[in-house]
Amino acid sequence: GAGLQLLLKRGKRWIQARLSLLVLFGFIHGLLFWDGDILLAYGLVGLICWRIIRDAHDVKNLFNTGVVLFLIGVAILLLLGVISGGSTNRSWVPDAANLQYEQYWKLGGGLEAISNRADMIGNSLLALGAQYGWQLAGMMLIGAALMRTGWLKGEFNPRHYRRAGMWLVLVGLAINLPAVIAQWYLHWDYRWCAFLLQAPRELSAPFQTIGYAALIYGYWPQLCRFRLVTAVACVGRMALSNYILQTLICTTLFYQLGLFMKFDRLQLLGIVLPVWLVNILFSVLWLRHFRQGPLEWVWRQLTIRASGVSSSHTSG
């Protein structure tokens, strides 16, 4: 949402081309590489939300609309929990046959894998239209409103950010932690954990997300002195490239090298740090020689060609 607000000055053709390309990237990524893609959803919802952001003349109304849309998504999640009954989805607690088949097509690849990922894309689109899209649209509008006020540009007093960040994170944790504990005590029951107790966790997400951003702004004068923070900022400047890089690393490790289903959750945490180190090292080295990441450059060039608008001649 904040990014959409910043892109408004580039005009309709630029934004539509950029988001349409994001949809295409997401579809290719989800179909051929990994079934957990988020680019497709962000692109589709962005194509709807950018017009709402453009036409909203009052920041307060834009923010409030975002809150309402987000709450509608949470309400639908609760409704799905009420009507789901007590039956357990097989994807939630798969039997031995399902686990074996999943291992077969993920390690084997080919048309079987593409077919399964296509089914998952279809299911994701249904979920996006029915429930998750409301929340995603709400967060985009909230982000755009905060950017428009200057709050997400760091234009407020550091003390304000520190105080707001502390309270937002505490409120988010107060909502989230009881739900997590309840899920654990209920032994991760499908109806409760996938729907009813997921709702408070979804509600806590905006508080924690915005709270962490506020804390970063509030303590930025101290944080910016650390080289690691500067290195992590390089990863952010190459977000798309690093997102796809993580897919390539992990699909190589787990699918091509056959490590899928070989580790428990605690052991998997040990893989996170090396992957992040690769992201950081790659980003720092790349940005020493180039202004933007490789996929960011491709995305920009394709946007210029698709929109017919030069990046130096875009307007509001």
The neighbour count for residue 2, using CB atoms within 10 Å, is 19
Of 66-80, 101-115, 278-292, 301-315, which gets the smallest average pLDDT?
301-315
Span 244-252, average pLDDT: 96
Q: Is the pLDDT of residue 309 over 90?
A: no
Q: Are residues 66 and 173 in the same domain?
A: no
Q: Is the pLDDT of residue 141 over 80?
A: yes
Instruction: Answer whether residue 308 is part of any domain.
Output: no
Each residue of 100-132: pLDDT tens digit? 998 999 999 899 999 999 999 999 999 999 999
Q: Are residues 81 and 205 in the same domain?
A: no
Total count of domains within the chain: 3
Q: Is the pLDDT of residue 308 over 90?
A: no
Which pLDDT score is estimated for 312? 58
Span 9-29, average pLDDT: 95
Which pLDDT score is estimated for 311? 60
The neighbour count for residue 125, using CB atoms within 10 Å, is 14
Residue with tokens 């924690």: 208
Residue 188 belongs to what domain range?
A: 155-224
Each residue of 148-176: pLDDT tens digit? 999 999 999 999 999 999 999 999 999 99
HSE-CB for 84 with a 13 A CA cutoff: 19
Span 241-259, average pLDDT: 94
For the chain, give the percent of residues with pLDDT over 70.
Answer: 97
Confidence of residue 83 (pLDDT cuts 50, 70, 90): confident
Span 266-272, average pLDDT: 92
Each residue of 30-65: pLDDT tens digit? 999 999 999 999 999 999 999 999 999 899 999 999
Instruction: Answer whether residue 313 is part of any domain.
Output: no
Q: Is the pLDDT of residue 194 over 80?
A: yes
- CA pair distance 27, 41, nearest whole angstrom: 9
Q: Is the pLDDT of residue 316 over 50?
A: no
Average pLDDT across the chain, whole number? 92
Handedness of CA 140, 141, 147, 151 (dihedral sign): negative
Q: Are residues 267 and 281 in the same domain?
A: yes
Confidence of residue 315 (pLDDT cuts 50, 70, 90): very low
- CA pair distance 107, 257, nearest whole angstrom: 9
Tokens of 185: 């005590």
Q: Are residues 141 and 90 in the same domain?
A: yes
Model pTM score:
0.90
Q: Are residues 22 and 97 in the same domain?
A: yes
Compute and round to an integer the Cα radius of gyration of the chain: 21
Instruction: Answer whether residue 316 is part of any domain.
Output: no
Listed residues 90, 120, 153: the one ending a domain: 153
Query: Residues 299, 20: contact at Cβ < 8 Å?
Result: no
Confidence of residue 265 (pLDDT cuts 50, 70, 90): confident
